[in-house]
Amino acid sequence: MNEKYKELFTSYKLANGVALKNRIVMAPMTHWSSNVDGTVTDAEIQYYGRRSKGVSMVITACTHVTANGQGFHGQFASHSDEFIPGLKRVADAIKEQGAKAILQIYHGGKMSPPELVPNGDIVSASDVPAESNGETGKTPRPLTEAEIEEIIDAYGEATRRAIEAGYDGVEIHGANGYLIQQFFSGHSNRREDRFGGTLEKRMAFPLAVVDKVKSVIEKYGDASFIVGYRFSPEEPEENGITMADTLVLVDALAEKGLDYLHVSLTDYSSTPHRGVEDLSKTRIEYLLEKINNRVPLIGVGSIYSAEDARKAFETGVPLIALGRELLIDPDWVQKVEEGNEEKIVTLLDKDKQEELAIPDPLWKAIMNTPGWVPGV
């Protein structure tokens, strides 16, 4: 191994004492490849197995904790015990290759396509529709307080299923505009009850999910079960999340006894748009400063070459995640480890779908979205 990359291959202890074999984890990536009934397919198992040999931890695609939380076609479900055997197959495929298996748990809220949700009953914090690519989604129905409690419980139930299925941990998906983020956002959350109205109250749902997940782990798991939390630092809407809001959330999360925090960024070195004084300092720098070593942070975003990874690691994050790069080159980690970093592929080879074990629906999504994955 090239001396320059040695630090990436040192082991790392998470807050709960679990040791990771190196500093590189696989970012969660939805693959649209499960059966219509939410059960797991062989293609998914191959996809995970192919990518779990080098990294220390694999975070799965997000899985919906209630039937009305499904946000994608071909998503694998975690809202009933009947899904445990399939969830176990995914965990086993990852663990067999030597990585820790982390199940990402989520609810799509207003981002769910109505045709995927029972009776098309799209729910959210408030009746603010999703906007994406200039299109306005169906107006969601604001959840009642009793329904909010049920969804909090559902995150707990999904965690219990993850424990029973043999996962090493769960990641609470509070990022990318889904339900948890909808509650935290001043744009999406217009409530005036205990779940909205002030920044503090907008944090009530995210923090209640964390407390529920932790209490379920205490009851059914043990101290080695990992729990992480993912968040997106900013939203573009006028009253949306600002970097300042996120620093308040992160401060609260850092006191929750989580094993890691995971920021969601498409560019590792991106800078804040608003809410903080110095807009030239990176979001990662702000986050590390606020966290102040209380909990590990996973950094992510357009890390393709070994040099990109070294530079990202140098900024002080203890762990980095690779997403698209592991689609393009599932052997990335082994290549760096063996001193073959010049052999890393950074543009998707359109002739190698089979070799790369990328399921058809994910492959089609990539091919139909030029510019998303390098090489396409």
Ligand X SMILES: Cc1cc2nc3c(=O)[nH]c(=O)nc-3n(C[C@H](O)[C@H](O)[C@H](O)COP(=O)(O)O)c2cc1C
Considering the complex, state which of residue 12 and residue 32 has its C-beta at the smaller distance from ligand X. 32
Burial 114-139 (b: 16+ CB within 10 A, else e): eebbeeeebbbbbebebeeeeeebee
Structure tokens at 13: 């202890």
For residue 25, the minimal CB distance to ligand X (Å) is 10
Dihedral, CA of residue 174, residue 179, residue 185 and residue 186, to nearest 10: -160
Considering the complex, state which of residue 59 and residue 148 has its C-beta at the smaller distance from ligand X. 59
Neighbours of 291 (CB within 10 A): 18
Give the CB-nearest residue to ligand X. 323
DSSP character at residue 77? B
Structure tokens at 84: 């445990």
For residue 193, the minimal CB distance to ligand X (Å) is 28
In the chain, the DSSP E strands lie at 12-13, 19-20, 24-26, 57-64, 100-106, 123-124, 131-132, 135-136, 141-142, 169-174, 226-231, 260-263, 297-300, 319-322
For residue 178, the minimal CB distance to ligand X (Å) is 9
State the pairing for strand pair 12-13/141-142.
unpaired
For residue 117, the minimal CB distance to ligand X (Å) is 18
For the question of residue 106 being annotated catalytic, the response is no
Among residues 47, 106, 167, 178, which one is catalytic?
A: 178
Q: Which residues pair with 102 in a beta bridge?
A: 59, 169
Interface residues with ligand X (CB under 6 A) are 27-30, 61-62, 104, 173, 175-176, 230, 264, 266, 300-303, 322-325
Structure tokens at 360: 């058809």
Considering the complex, state which of residue 254 and residue 362 has its C-beta at the smaller distance from ligand X. 362
Pick the closest to residue 108 from 145, 163, 44, 61 (CA basis): 61
For residue 302, the minimal CB distance to ligand X (Å) is 4
Considering the complex, state which of residue 24 and residue 123 has its C-beta at the smaller distance from ligand X. 24
Q: Which residues pair with 321 in a beta bridge?
A: 25, 300
Pick the closest to residue 118 from 64, 167, 155, 161 (CA basis): 64
Considering the complex, state which of residue 56 and residue 104 has its C-beta at the smaller distance from ligand X. 104
Helices 84-96 and 42-51, packing angle to 10 deg = 30
For residue 219, the minimal CB distance to ligand X (Å) is 26
Considering the complex, state which of residue 247 and residue 327 has its C-beta at the smaller distance from ligand X. 327
Q: Among all residues, which ones are annotated catalytic? A: 178
